[in-house]
Structure 1
Amino acid sequence: MPSSQRPAGPFTPLDFQLVLLRRMADHNPGLVEDARRELGASVADMREANRRWQAMIRSPRSRSAARYHSVLGEPESAAPRRIGDLECEARQWPLPLWPDLRFEVLVAEKGVVWNEWLVRAPGAEGPRLRTLDDLTPWSCTVDEAARAFAPARPLQGSAPTRWGLALTAPDAEGRRHEVVAEFTWGLLQRTAADGRRP
């Protein structure tokens, strides 16, 4: 039976990790290839997981947190959080591919998802970010880079699930550079110096 006619099984945490990788592949195909192999998945598996996820987020309940519960199960933690005037709940799930990170979903009133990204796991040691050389792909999260090189200015991402930060960071010789860092799902993907947008 052609694969398109096979009944689809449950969408699993493995499939979800492939979705995250698919978006990151634009910037770091080598890292994504290594991670995909670590998961034991094929390129076709990643493509199919992304296709199914896109169908899920286009459904009438696309902004509901229910889809994350159905895929990832009960969150490892859930805690109230206030961001400006927004009252929400931060729910976090572990992902095997990134054991020191958690996938965090900020859920507002009526279960509406306000934000979704990777953050450092509670108690996990974060990276030592001091110079431009430390800003390597997948080395840090948005909030870690913003704290290390404050004040950082948020920038609109080039696509959904992408964020940018404009920041100033020193090189190894102490010379300071204007840098734009781009993140996918909250994880650093690349930087561009001298104010050039990635």
Structure 2
Amino acid sequence: MTETVTRPFGPLDFQLVLLRRMGDHQPGLVEDARQELGASVADMREANKRWQAMLRSSRSRGALSRYRSVLGAPEAVVPRRIGDLDCEAHLWPVPLWPGLRFEVLAGPGGAVWNEWLVRAPGIPGPELRGEVDLRPWSCTVDEVARAFPPARPMEGSAPTRWQLALTLPGGRECVAEFSWGLLQRLLPGGDRS
């Protein structure tokens, strides 16, 4: 993949950005995925550097415009209602995870409320019955929250991270940590590191 930096930032680069944050907890899975994409460690670093520069640029576009410029037109735009608020879910395919979509929830005027990986419409999620089913990269925040009610949302340990406090069958408390909406690891109930 080693090319000049002047090429446009596109879907491949964006997948490398997703992988970069996930590498903190799942370096083996990230290494396999990076190789599958034909990218080097330097390519991943460069993609992250360029993404961060786009986020911090004084000429930065709005978040929704930025995703459209990087990922192209969404595969679908679905109206959603959250409480009394209307929004739109913009969905893009992510080749590394064909059963998932990158979802950007945008409110009126295009303000982005959330951005993460979700299960693709029409694709069944995994059956989550216990700890053995909670494998890294196997499920999303929403799937875990539905499977283990009442899961309690918690602040993540870094941007693009989410945590859910939950009780597994048998009464064991734990915290599920997600990066970009995809499960990365389970922590004991009292451990938030």
Give TM class, smaller chain.
Answer: over 0.9
In structure 1, the partner of 2:192 is 197
Q: Is structure 2 residue 185 aligned with structure 1 residue 187? A: no
In structure 1, the partner of 2:49 is 51
**Deviation of the 1:63 alpha carbon:** 4.2
Q: Decide whether the 8 Å contact of 2:165 with 2:189 is kept in 1.
A: no
**Deviation of the 1:12 alpha carbon:** 1.1
Task: Quote the Cα distance in structure 1 between the aligned partners of 2:154 and 2:166.
Answer: 10
1:1-198 map, 5 Å: 8-60=6-58, 61=60, 63-170=62-169, 175-198=170-193
Task: Quote the Cα distance in structure 2 between the aligned partners of 1:64 and 1:29.
Answer: 28
Task: Quote the Cα distance in structure 1 between the aligned partners of 2:39 and 2:19.
Answer: 11
Q: Decide whether the 8 Å contact of 1:93 with 1:102 is kept in 2.
A: yes
| RMSD, aligned α-carbons | 1.5
**Deviation of the 1:85 alpha carbon:** 3.5
Please list every run of 5 or more consecutive structure 2 residues that lacks an aligned counterpart in the other structure: none
Q: Decide whether the 8 Å contact of 2:176 with 2:183 is kept in 1.
A: yes
**Deviation of the 1:111 alpha carbon:** 1.6
CA distances 1:53-102 after superposition (whole Å, capped 9, x unpaired): 00111134454300111111110100111212332110000011000000
CA distances 1:132-157 after superposition (whole Å, capped 9, x unpaired): 11111101000000000011000001
Alignment partner of 1:176: what SS?
Answer: coil
Taking structure 1 as the reference length, what is the TM-score of the superposition? 0.91
How many residues align? The count is 190
Taking structure 2 as the reference length, what is the TM-score of the superposition? 0.94
**Deviation of the 1:7 alpha carbon:** 5.1
